[in-house]
Each structure stands twice: as C-alpha cells, then as structure tokens.
Structure 1
C-alpha cells in the first residue's frame, strides 16, 4: 500500500512513506500519553468502562486540539485552536494537554502524573519551541476542563427499580446501583436524546422467547452447548481492561500514523464513544428492562408459555449493574468500529489484542467481523439478549456517524 487514506470524505492526508518517516524520526507522543491515560484511568483509578469513556474523550479531545493547532488547524477544532506557530513543539503540547487534563480528573495521582510529564519534557530541548508547545497544551486542556465543569459526572442519579415482570432490578452478586449518572451527562457533540431504539420485544412474543432461550442455553455458567471458542470470545470481549483501547494504539502503529492523524483518530473514536454511551444509557433508563440473570429464574412469571424458569441459572460473566437494553458494550464497540472505518476509509483492517481475563490474544482482519463477534459474545457471556446487542450496535453506528458529521472533519474556510 503506497497511500494511506485517513480522512473523512475520502480526503487523502498522508502517504505511508511520509507517515513512516515521521514515525521513525521520533516517538509518537500521542500514543505515549494514551498509555499514560489508561494507567491513570483504569490501572490506578479503576474507572468503569462508561466513566472511562468520558475521561478518554476529555484527554484525547484536548490533545487533538493542541496538535491540530500547531499543524495549522487543517481540521475543525473540537473546542479551540489556540494561537500557535509551526515551530512549537508538538510533543510538548501533547504531554501538557494530556497531563493537565488527567490531573484535573485524578488529583490524587498528581505525583505520578507529574513524574511522567517531567520525563516527557526532559526529552525536549529547552527553548522557544518547547515553551510554545507547553502554552498550546495548557490552553487546550483549560478549554476542555472548563467545558466539562459541572457536566453531571458522578451525580447521585439512580436507575428506576421495578418488581413487575420485565422490569429491571439490581442483580447478583452485589446488587449494585451504579452508573445511572451517565444518562444525564452533558454530551460532547450531538444531542443524545434525539436517538431512540425500538425497545425490547413484548414478554409474550415469540421473539422474546427465542432470545431468552438462546441466552439461557449459550450464556449459562455451566452451558454444555457453548463451545470453547465461544467461551474464550465471551471472556475476551468482557475484560474490563477494554481490548478496544489497545486496538486503537496498535492500528496507529501498524498503519504508521503521524502525530496529527493519531491524535485525530483517537479523538474521533473516544468522543463518539462517549456521546454514544450517553444515548445508550438514556435508552437503558427509558426501557429499564430486566437482565437474563433476573428473567430466567422468573420466567414462570413472564406470561410466555415458551419460556421455563430455572431458579439456579447463572451467567458465565458477572452482569453489569445497569438495565439490560440496549447493550452498552455493543453501543461502545459499534461507536469504535464505525469511527475507525470512517477514519481509515476501509473495513479490512488487521489487528489483535490480548486479554488478561481470557489469557489469550485474538486476531481480526476486518472491523465488521470483530463487531459481529462482539454482538454474539454478549449472548455467550450470559449478560444480554440478542435483540439488545443488535439494537445497541445500530444505535452506536448511528450516533457515531452523526458525531463525525459535526466534528473532526477537514476545515473548510
């Protein structure tokens, strides 16, 4: 491949040779600080996947605005394009934007983040270039921090709890009430309330019975019909250290993206994922549908003669503490794969990732095949019905396309 097309609307932005030369000349600061962000967000803070989506979107949005500004603002700024010069240090801007944003999110990690920041700056020669890059990064981080102040994160919102058939209630083993605040989180780009799903099928329908009986058979902790390959995939995709995080970095490296295109790709994916999850969680709250771990033991109350109760049934993987419909993971991964497809202009990307939970590495040669497996894996894990994954997939794709219609495209003066 001689030309790497990495822009929305088919605009060719870099050749593979140019990108390779850029990547070989110096480390990609965007990737370095994305790893630091994962350390702060998950490895230390242990944020949930939804909370992490907000943190990554904030960090990568600030980094993108900084890199884009120094590059001459060839793309629409997410928030601002601070005054800059082409000679300003991009690595200094990346490090500063990420560091300032992460410290605002995790003040208890200030010492470790400061050490990483000082290490990054120590590799950059002192002078006007470095000072200029620092100033640009400080400006974009400040804009992001101000934009997200009082955005509703970590409020005391709760999920509606019911007792009638079909209504969600807290699930074992800990019966938690967690994450409802995401449904009221301030969006990053679009208006998530504009997006709706058709809702789960009626409890008495053949469609509901079919999908409940499928997850009952395939998603049980003691299933005799789920294959070893399906079990591995279910665990691999369910790892809370999301494989999507490392897949983005691997793609940036494999396809030799330069700093600007890496920053843009990460921002496209992470901001789209955050808005998708807001829309997804609004729909979870709207439908408040029961999880398989609740529905299967109580199947004798659903009014459907094609379902039978199994009081001892348990899923392969622990059920998340939120309503079932639509699938949050399907929403998130659809956002990720849709944004990647739009960025690269193709579906046939090769990538892999390792999961500590499954102890395995899985390989893919297209985004669509990976996404199709994720939909199946939520059923194999015993945490979602097929209709929840299908509708979450559709919602994530739709929201992401609209986010990227409004943000991160080429600037047209």
Structure 2
C-alpha cells in the first residue's frame, strides 16, 4: 500500500507540473504485477501526461478528457470482469476464469494493460510509441495480438477491442465522418468536429443578444489570439451508459440571464464582481484545482480507493463508476447548454457597465483594483461553451454522489498540498506560503467545486445551484448500472449509436 501511495503522490505532482511547465521524466520503479496496481503504476502515468500534452493543456476540456478516462476505465472493467465471481463486461462477454487466476493481481493487471493499449491507440493513434512503451515497461509485448480467452493477454485484447468498437460511433464523431449541416458541410472531415450546425448568435466582436453566449477572444501569446468555438456540441447526442436519453432531464430556465429581466441580470453580474474583488488565496487555488478535471475528479477517486484499502477489482469498479457518472452527466449538461445558449459573466459585465469603473481582481499579481468594466477578466479563462448550467458543478455532483453510493459513506479526508508560488495563474506569488486544500467529505468537495466557478468568474450562481440540484441523479444512475454489471444481470450492450438530434 505504501508503494502505491508514493506512486500516487508522484502522479499528482506530475499532473500539477504539466499544467505549468515542462518536467523531466523520472525513472519509476518496476511494476510488481502480482501485488501492484497497473492502472495506477503504469496506465495513469502514461495517459495523464499525454492528455495534458496532446488534448487539454490544463485538463479543463472536460468532454474530451472524460472521453479518454471513461473509455480507459471501461476497458479496465471489461478486462477484469472474467476474474470476478459474477461480473460481466459492458461491451463484452468473455467468460469466467477460475478463482485461482485471481489469487494475485497478475492476470488482472496484464489484462487491463492490453485493454488500455487498444483504447489509447484508438483515441490517440499518433502516440502509439507511448502506448507501446507503457506495455514494454510493464514487461509485456505490444505485438502480442492473441485473442485466446484462457489467457490474460487474450482477455485484455478482446476487452479493449470491444470497448473501442462499442464507443467508436457513439455520437462524439471520433472518426470525423458524421454528416454535417449548415456552413460546415463542405469542410474536410475532422475527428470530433461539430456536425450539428451550431452557430452562436453573437460574435467575439459584437454582442447582438446580451442574453446569449458570446465566444471570447482569448490571448494565446504575444500577438496570438483565439476566438472560441462551442467545443463538441454533439456531446449532447452521445449515447450514455447509465440511462437511455438526456431528454427526460431538464434544467430550469436561467431567468436572471435574460437581459430584459435587468434587475436580476445586473444582480448576478454584481455577485461575480464582488467575488472577484474578494478573492482569497484558497479560492484561487480551489478554482485552479477544479479546472483540472484529471486532478480534481480522477485523483480524488484514486485517493479514496487507496486510503480505504480497496482491492484491485474494487479500485477498477470505483474508477469506472466515477468516470461514467461524470461522462453521463455531461451529456445532459451539453443538451441544456445548447438549449439555453446562455451568456457568460464577462459579456454581461461589459454590457451592463461598458467603460464604467468596477472594483475587481485586476489580473495576475495585481490584486483588487478599480478598472474599466470592459477590461475586466475572470480569474480563469472561460471554457469554450455556453454558461448554463455549470458543467464542472454537474461533473463534481455526479462524481461525488457515485462515490458516496459505492463507498457507503460521505467521508473523504483528502488533503492536497500546495507549495508557495505554485499557482498556475499567479506563479511565484500564490500562495504566499505552503498550504493545503482540504476536503473532509465528498460533500465538501462537491460544494467547493461548484462555488469555485463563481470565484473564478466564469459562472453565475444560478448555474452552480442548478448543477447541484440536478446532477446527483447521474451518480445514482451510474451506480445502479454498475451494480447490474457486477452482479451479472446487465443486458448485453450493442455498440453505441448517437442519439438522433431534434435541432
């Protein structure tokens, strides 16, 4: 257990460092297949840095991050099912192995390694060298393509291939071959490109409708700028794991975001400005933590598994469960974001106050200042999608509820150290001295996750409140489905297909 906790601490430090600067690879001790956990000791150390480098530099692009983490943990579950007394896979039925083959972790570890290899080659095929090294460093042969279901290699290969086929055409447009509508229809096919024809009413330069989302013009470097696009709006059409369709779930309308409801519109904008003006070091660090979905969601589940002494099979179950819960919650959130297409705080504040002075956080290292409203920036840059409801809040609520259900307790006791000056936004300045972020319960994690979006200036309070009101149900749904998989009563699942659009 001590070895696993040390490895987990190393991975956490690597995840934080990769969001800030380049780090040199460190030699890791060899994997003990019999007693270790290949998911923690081999797969996560390979996949997490690849996500930061090739997918999401901050770990904040949730739809793409969750696609990877959910498919990988799905592969772990399907690859381990034959070694469980009753469990069946999501996308595979690979039989049952004798109990003697699960007396150590060796067979389960080998199977999950090969399953992960297939999933990552499907999701990030250009990085095949990384995935080959992941197997080779664990003493395995990436060229072993056996499908012999009496062996761990064959089970892992079969499980991984089944998960890849199961999610390849699920609505996320991984292949880039979905028929597109609107102005995009003549573009060359590209993976994960929008095929729904979404177009914002506002431009980065003109706010035609102050109630609706405005893409931000974000600085990328000296003289380099990016105009936001709604990232993967087709996520709303992706097939969930734990329920049939998101259409039965609805968020209440964001009445305060309608500019004709001006008193409420101004009040919620003023609440964001007040939070900005009163930012504490803890709030800044919380905002950065929950912006990084790998650390906040992924590592909280890993910590819970290790601190509570879960077996390898139990670890796999919990990790797949929490990823599935957030994944399925996100499908609902993207449906509602598209429905309401709601304005972000930066647009509303500029609309209300223009060049008038406001008191708020003035930028990295500048503290609270009086600035022109049109110069105000949120502590974190806004994500590339409409505001309502809060996706991060919804992810955390589903994640926390699923963990509570599985573990049978709200206790977490997770403490995350933050060294002086380790802030991503205010490096070298925040925090002024070594500190920690403490989460005694899953509820405290869930609450701070939601409020951090208001502190960061990227959400109104109503978006957070609505995310918490609704999204716990997706933790319950995911837990219910997991239990059917574990007790072997889940129906055989056909390859996923996209939900037909009503747009």
Please give the range of the TM-score, normalised by the shorter of the 2 chains: 0.7 to 0.9
C-alpha displacement of 1:35:
3.4
Q: Which runs of 5+ in 2 are unaligned?
A: 1-31, 173-191, 202-207, 219-225, 355-371, 425-430, 490-503
Contact residue 63 and residue 330 of structure 2 kept, 8 A: yes
Counterparts of 2:471 and 2:45, CA distance in 1 = 25
Contact residue 243 and residue 353 of structure 1 kept, 8 A: no
Structure 1 match to 2:409:
346
What secondary structure is seen at the aligned counterpart in 2 of 1:120? coil
Q: Which residue, 445, 452, 460 being the options, matches 1:385?
A: 460
Counterparts of 1:354 and 1:196, CA distance in 2 = 38
What secondary structure is seen at the aligned counterpart in 1 of 2:213? coil
Q: Which runs of 5+ in 1 are unaligned?
A: 1-22, 302-308
TM score, norm. by length of structure 2: 0.69
Q: Which residue, 213, 219, 224 being the options, matches 1:168?
A: 213
Counterparts of 2:465 and 2:36, CA distance in 1 = 39
C-alpha displacement of 1:80:
2.3
Structure 2 matches for 1:39-58, cutoff 5 A?
A: 39-46=49-56, 48-58=61-71
C-alpha displacement of 1:134:
0.9
Q: Does 2:190 match 1:156?
A: no
Moved more, 131-140 or 358-367: 358-367
Counterparts of 1:236 and 1:149, CA distance in 2 = 31
Contact residue 195 and residue 399 of structure 1 kept, 8 A: no
Contact residue 350 and residue 365 of structure 1 kept, 8 A: yes
- Larger helix percent: 1
C-alpha displacement of 1:31:
2.1
1:114-160 deviations in Å (ceiling 9; x for gaps)? 1111222459xx9x999711111111111111111122321324644
Q: Which residue, 106, 113, 124 being the options, matches 1:106?
A: 124
C-alpha displacement of 1:226:
2.5
Structure 2 match to 1:63:
76
Contact residue 325 and residue 388 of structure 1 kept, 8 A: yes
Q: Which residue, 216, 223, 227 being the options, matches 2:273?
A: 216
TM score, norm. by length of structure 1: 0.83
Structure 2 match to 1:313:
376
Contact residue 406 and residue 479 of structure 2 kept, 8 A: no
Counterparts of 1:26 and 1:330, CA distance in 2 = 36
Superposed CA RMSD:
2.8
Q: Which residue, 373, 377, 380 being the options, matches 2:448?
A: 373
Counterparts of 1:296 and 1:339, CA distance in 2 = 36
1:212-260 deviations in Å (ceiling 9; x for gaps)? 21102213xxx2x223332332233224654222222222211111111
Structure 2 matches for 1:217-366, cutoff 5 A?
A: 217-219=274-276, 223=277, 225-239=278-292, 241-299=294-352, 310-353=373-416, 357=423, 361-366=436-441
Which fold has the larger relative contact order, with Cα–Cα distance below 8 Å and residues 6 or more apart in sequence?
A: 1
- Runs of 4 or more, structure 1, over 6 Å off, are 128-131
